[in-house]
Chains A and B, each alone.
Chain A
Amino acid sequence: MTRPLAPDVVRGLEEIVGARHVITDPNRLLVYESDGLTAYRVAPRAVVLPDSTEQVAGVLALLHRERIEIVPRGAGTGLSGGALPTPDGVIVGTARMNRILAIDADDRLARVQPGVVNARLTEATRPFGLYYAPDPSSQSSCTLGGNVAENSGGPHCLKYGVTSRYVTGLTVVMADGEVVRLGGVGREATGGLDLVGLFVGSEGCFGIAAEIEVRLLPLATGVRTLLGIFETMEAAGHAVTRIIGSGLMPAAVEIVDQATIEAVEASVFAAGYPTDAGAALVIEFDGTEQGLDADADRAAACCLEVGAREVRRAATEGERAALWKGRKKAFGAMGRIAPDLLVQDATVPRTRLPEVLARITEIGQRYDLKIANVFHAGDGNLHPNILFDRQNTDELARVERASHEIMSLCVAVGGTITGEHGVGVDKRQYMRLVHDEVEIDMLRRVRRVFDPEGLLNPGKVLPDPDPSSAEKAPLPV
């Protein structure tokens, strides 16, 4: 049972943010029990919703004085449990901090509060001929503060890079409420350490980014989208290697496998992919209009050379949306196949994709689990999605063992345990697959540089101190 906050603490928080923005009613707290990783649920003691840097500073200073744990939360779309409450903690949500503070078209920069939704920034900058490049699949709901915390990727990161490339400056509220400013365009010549780069991806453990300066890019004038249909996943994998090896630089290269195609086509999201295909490849080029047909022709030729059954092209924006639908709605479509979905995330060197996919299929068969693959093929970033029913305890145990094998496999071929979803609580148990004790100790020490008492987002990222206990960590439900 969650311990309620002392009345004077609640009053103190209410004085800072207003009574309406401190939530302690257990029924209203239910919404905050989990993030996008719904297998984990913990009720927080309270939720506080500040709307300015000063309010965040006041809230954190008060909680720090009381030694109360702080769990930052954006939109709660994260898939690694990074915003999972702690039983002793208070959630500090950024939902009200949703203002775009400045769009500076001359310098191609924007300054935003952390609660601004990713896609909204591009909408707001489009009239200036600019856009914000990182596009996580959840971009219509995820926030920029969450993107900073997770160093989020997205389909178009193949060409444009992930969040850290675009974050140029931060105003951070530290665990004790102190406000610090890091980086900023124009200050490069100071020659300091890249503290902004270090902060991005710190999963809410270093501080709360209360203002974020990001770089914008000019909108591409043209786009071409192709859909390659393949008999086998292996052939689709070879097409990816051929396209990348040919010197082309697609904006995105995404694969969905047969299990995913079946799920999508049987759902309300049906995108017209042939259900007997082994895999579908979405390839997109963007940039200057005049060069795009030549690029698209070459990519189509690459697909056909390795045996694509057909290559479709979008001629209109509507057709483009239709080709993408099978990829973007894949997770939603899986909801109708099984009650629960574990969205896995790992990266392998691109050339190892065919081998790794074959072995993931074998692992699924061995544990009698349905695994559907959707992934950013150009980056080697896999999302094996395990479909299961958490009420079935035997199946749940098999999901856990299969996940561990998949992670070990990805690491063994030179990859890593998470490419873009973060460690959160979900991947803590796998951290020792990629880091030795010296490295984990160093991560712990760096965390203490920012948060000496360990009050910010405790229980995330770092594995438990005892290696033997981590091996046996069960999947909490």
Chain B
Amino acid sequence: MRSLAEVLPSDAFESVRTPAGEAPAGSPRQGPGRVPESVVRPGSTEEVAAVLAWATREGIGVLPVASGSRAAPVSGEGAYVVLSTRRLSGIDIYEPADLTLTARAGTPFRVVDDALGAEGQWAPFDPPRVNERSIGGLVGSGESGPLWMGYGELRNHVLGATVVTGDGRTLRLGGRVVKNVAGYDLLKAVVGSRGTLAVLTSVCVRAFPRPAIDRVLVLRGSSVGALLDAAMGVGTAPMLPVSSVMANRIGDGAEKRGAALVVRLHGARSTVDADQAALERHIGAAFETIGDDGFGAEASRAHALLTTIRDRGATDAVVLDVSARPSRLREVLSALARLDADALVADTYGGRIRVGMRELDRPRVHAARQAIEGLGGALRVRHAAGNETDQVQGSGPSDDETRLTDRLRGIFDPAGVFWPAR
């Protein structure tokens, strides 16, 4: 076996497995998963390509990690290395008047956000813990936060990317213009593929001007169920908020008993005032205005509330992703009621729910999944403490989708080196 040290410079090695078999630093979260042979952090697209070509030749698995904050333990047989994109860091092109920014994949999102903010711009990405993640990790996860309601899904804001396939081929997908249909849209397949098709080394995202007012409104209730009518009403209002989320245990005070519906409005002051009035008329209730500075400093109440609700439950021991048509939410919530959720965050406009739990109650999760699938929805275990994710059958792609996915994997990753990411 030709050593990885022959294809990578020494500074690209973060750590290697000790002779005693202890996990190298930077390995996925502790748990019963397999330990990688080494953790490498290439400094360029070429070095990423060298690692992947080597892995394909040698039959070694590769687990791409971005910030590493989301990597799950690896199960399955065979040796693998962790490929960290952390050293691929920095903003390469930012032309504010073009409203586009190109950064290397390992660039922390916070760095991107600061650069945009300095020019009065932003990228409307708000999945959980967004500021701890890298731009490549975000794009690879494909996760949209509640802001998708007003701005569209994350995938619509990724204009281009440089990626390396499992066998070490470098592809420039898309570009750095807002409209681009020059060839099949392979970029859409890679965004959200979570390291199973290719390693992202650079991404170009669309930026937006920051609105003058970022108003954060709250309606409080005794429970999520009690707020459901109001939340559904937001979805059918004659105006479109930029986000609308309800969550349990968001009440003031130490006990945090109550639930809250948090709605965000963007625009000029006159627009936002009118939208708020129209919304309140439509749902027949008055909101509490927390602030007009959702973008504000971390000390601002509006910002703090948005952050709390954004991250609610995302680091619980067990996290479930649930989706359903918005009109079925009442039935979905009742199917989830038996789970004794610690955290429940529902994007009512999209019909997407995150459930955080302290432990995995398999029979109840299984029953909830069956009920939700019966409603045309889906339930998946995003992560579970230890290595239990595989032990609860979640809703998956259809047989048709699986077959096409397998064929796509076969051409992006012919030797299957990305098995640890699946």
Contacts and interface: CB of A to CB of B under 8 A. Distances in A.
Interface stretch (A118-126, A391-399, A434-442): A434-442
Contact of B267 (A185, A288, A351, A427): A288
B100 A349 contact: yes
Contact of B270 (A162, A203, A294, A439): A294
Given A290-B270, A438-B170, A414 B181 contact: no
A248 to B, nearest CB: 7
A269 interface: no
A347 B278 CA distance: 38
Given A108-B235, A217-B240, A349-B95, A414 B395 contact: no
Contacts of A190: 323, 378, 380, 394-397, 401
A349 B176 contact: yes
A350 interface: yes
Interface stretch (A59-67, A92-100, A446-454): A446-454
Interface stretch (A2-10, A83-91, A228-236, A416-424): A416-424
Given A190-B395, A294-B270, A351-B98, A201 B178 contact: no
On chain A, which size bracket covers the interface? 35 or more
Interface stretch (A44-52, A239-247, A254-262, A317-325): A239-247
Contacts of A186: 323-325, 328, 351, 375-378
Contacts of A26: none
A380 B208 CA distance: 15
Interface in A176-235: 180-182, 185-195, 197-198, 200-203, 205-206, 217-219, 221
Contacts of B378: 186-190
Most chain A CB inside 10 Å of its own CB: which residue of B181, B273, B324:
B181
Contacts of A189: 321-323, 352, 377-380, 394-395
Contacts of B375: 186
A180 B328 CA distance: 24
Given A186-B351, A190-B397, A288 B275 contact: yes
B323 A218 contact: no
A195 B183 contact: no
B366 interface: no
Contact of B184 (A180, A205, A221, A380): A205
Interface residues of B, number: 87
Nearest to A461: B183
A75 to B, nearest CB: 18
Nearest to B326: A107
Contact of A418 (B182, B275, B405): B182
Contacts of A203: 184
A151 B185 contact: yes
B211 interface: yes
Nearest to A158: B178
B327 interface: yes
A55 to B, nearest CB: 20
B301 interface: no
Nearest to B402: A192
Contacts of A450: 404
A113 B389 CA distance: 39
A151 B188 CA distance: 12
Interface in B311-336: 321-328
A161 B152 contact: yes
Contacts of B9: none
A164 interface: yes
A197 B185 CA distance: 7
A36 B397 CA distance: 38
A379 B178 contact: yes
Nearest to B188: A197
B11 interface: no
Given A189-B395, A434-B175, A442 B156 contact: no
A439 B400 CA distance: 26
A442 B411 contact: yes
B186 A442 contact: yes
Contacts of A438: 169-171
Contact of B239 (A218, A423, A431): A218
Contact of A195 (B155, B271, B401): B401
A247 B178 contact: no
Contact of B400 (A180, A187, A431): A180
Contacts of A307: none
A364 B381 CA distance: 59
A443 B178 contact: no
Interface in B391-419: 394-398, 400-402, 404-405, 407-408, 411
Contacts of A455: none
Given A190-B380, A221-B239, A198 B189 contact: yes
A415 interface: yes
A420 B181 contact: yes
Given A191-B380, A351-B97, A419 B184 contact: no
A350 B99 contact: yes
A470 interface: no
Contacts of B358: none
B178 A347 contact: yes
Contacts of B69: none
Given A165-B152, A202-B184, A349 B177 contact: yes
Contacts of A466: none
A195 B323 contact: no
A325 B406 CA distance: 49
Interface of B: 95-100, 120, 142, 152-153, 155-156, 165, 169-173, 175-186, 188-189, 191-194, 197, 208-212, 235-240, 267-268, 270-275, 278, 321-328, 350-352, 375-380, 394-398, 400-402, 404-405, 407-408, 411
Of all A-B residue pairs in the complex, the 7 with the closest CB atoms, nearest first, are A291-B271, A197-B188, A290-B274, A192-B397, A419-B179, A180-B400, A247-B209
12 contacts: A161-B152, A186-B378, A188-B352, A189-B321, A190-B395, A192-B396, A193-B405, A249-B209, A288-B278, A380-B98, A436-B172, A449-B404
